[in-house]
Amino acid sequence: MCLSSFATPKMIMDFLAQHKTISFEGCISQIFFLHLFTGTEIVLLISMSFDRYIAICKPLHYSSIKSQRVFVGLVVTSCMVGFLHTVSQLAFTLYLPFCGPNVIDSFFCDLPLVIQLACIDIYVLGIFMISTSGVIALISFLLLLTSYIIVLVTIKDLSSTGSSKAFSTCTAHFIVV
């Protein structure tokens, strides 16, 4: 819901307007919310996979492992990771010198498009920004994949009734991931 709401209002306005512009502050805001929500979402997906792992692989320990404090900690951690990822991406962008035609051929501002407008050589900065996002995405994907492989192997070893219940519990999350 959050990811679809940060750029949609501007996109709708652009469909209805002849002159499609966005301020620098509006552009940076879109980048901020894009990275905040995606960083937060990936950690929440990992938290959900951890929850499914505990529920299916260690059902008798679920109550002792997953207390309300742990749930709050996971939500706060996801917000913090999203925020730190956003700050790491925007810290350099805000101080870049921009000159010339500041035109982006897209309905929303994205970091690679914005840093290409800088008046300096952005090769190293671009590599840094892409690599940090790539490392976060790769680690997150590997954590999700590992968790769900363990869950699926465990489901396979359960009785047919147990595996049916366990698989139905995870199906919606599998689809989202």
Token output for 134: 């790539």
Helices in the chain by DSSP H: which ranges? 2-5, 8-16, 24-57, 62-65, 68-93, 111-115, 123-157, 160-176
User: pTM for this one?
Assistant: 0.81
Q: Please report, for residues 101, 123, 128, 132, 156, the alpha-carbon distance to residue 118 in angstroms, rounded to integers and kept in the order given.
A: 10, 11, 16, 20, 53
Q: In degrees, to the nearest 5, what angle opens at C-alpha 50 toward C-alphas 44 and 56?
A: 135
Query: How many other C-beta atoms are found inside a 10 Å radius of the C-beta of residue 129?
Result: 19
Q: Which pLDDT score, from 0 to 100, does residue 148 have?
A: 84
Residue 168: is its pLDDT beyond 80? no
Q: Which pLDDT score, from 0 to 100, does residue 83 have?
A: 94
Q: Which pLDDT score, from 0 to 100, does residue 120 have?
A: 83
For the segment 110-161, what is each residue's pLDDT rounded down to a tens digit? 888 888 888 888 787 777 777 877 888 899 889 888 888 888 888 877 767 6
Query: How many other C-beta atoms are found inside a 10 Å radius of the C-beta of residue 56?
Result: 22
Which of these, 102, 96, 87, 103, lies nearest to 31 by C-alpha position?
87
The residue with greater pLDDT, 82 or 176, is: 82
